[in-house]
Amino acid sequence: MPGGARRVTARGNLYHPQCLTCSVCGRQLDKESGFYHLPPDRLVCEDEIKREKRAEKKDSMKCSDCGESLEGTYFQHEGKNLCEKDYEKYRKKCSVCGCSITGSYYTGKEGKIICAKDYKEQQGGNLNCKKCGKEVDGGEIVRAVDSLFHTECFSCCKCSKNLAGKDASFMADDEKNIYCREDYHKKFSPRCHGCHEPIAPKPGEKSASRLKALDKDWHPQCFKCADCKDRLGGEEGKKCYPMNDEPLCMDCHKKRLEK
């Protein structure tokens, strides 16, 4: 090699630049692109090293259940690498037709999983959300008042509070409009003639006490003498002696007669 010619040193030997090539792909090597010296006397470019490492990693992968080497397509489930045969054991199955579910699915009564095809047949072909009108495409849904709702659409028609949570409760009117309990009672519950507030159950209760007197509705604690404000009716109250459609106790009734 003449003294003025370009040369490259590798493995303690001298090379013409064009002769220093990858022993795998034949690519010309230089210090900028990077190369490795592998025994026995192999020069390999960086790209081929990366390919070999990927191949080694793939060859070492085994199914977490059966231990067979994974070749081609494999599946992951809860951190496990699985072959197609073992993955089938973990796939959700339709409680109606028994087929494995690959796409969207629905949750029916008692938490049973139903594929989209069978669920649509059960609903007479209608899988549209009652509120927004768009198709309910599986996953979490709400079924109420003989209709389907996206979870984000199942909300009070008055205050827009979402009612899809486990602790949320709802009520519906005759037209199947959805209300939270508070707004339903504000609109539909009878109002007390004494305080003018709805006669509705308190949080955590299912019913509310109501007293009917003088053709009006009252909270029991609100049915009082119009003059002295003593409580009337029930076991704790005095007997009512109305006058001019007003509730009065006996003493106040006599006082009005004496005027």
pLDDT at 57: 60
For residue 54, the number of C-alpha atoms closer than 13 Å in the C-beta half-sphere is 6
Name 224's bridge partners: 231
181-209 mean pLDDT: 90
Average pLDDT along the chain:
82
pLDDT at 245: 92
Evaluate if residue 221 carries a pLDDT over 80: yes
Residue 108 neighbours by CB under 8 Å, 6+ apart = 95, 114, 119, 122
pLDDT band at 92 (very low <50, low <70, confident <90, very high): confident
**Nearest residue to 49 (alpha-carbon basis) of 14, 25, 17, 71:** 25
Q: Which two tokens stand for residue 35?
A: 């190369």
Kindly state the greatest CA–CA separation across the chain: 141
Query: Strand 75-77 and strand 42-45: pairing?
Result: unpaired
pLDDT at 177: 93
CA distance 199 to 108: 36
CA distance 188 to 126: 31
Tell me the per-residue pLDDT of 73-88, one tens digit each, with 9 for 90 and over: 778 888 788 888 888 8
Tell me the per-residue pLDDT of 129-160, one tens digit each, with 9 for 90 and over: 888 988 877 667 788 888 888 889 999 999 99
Return the percentage of the chain with pLDDT > 90, whole number.
32
**Nearest residue to 219 (alpha-carbon basis) of 252, 190, 186:** 190
pLDDT at 79: 79
**Domains in the chain, ordered, with CATH?**
8-57 (2.10.110.10), 105-186 (2.10.110.10), 189-259 (2.10.110.10)
**Nearest residue to 104 (alpha-carbon basis) of 73, 125, 135:** 135
pLDDT at 32: 59
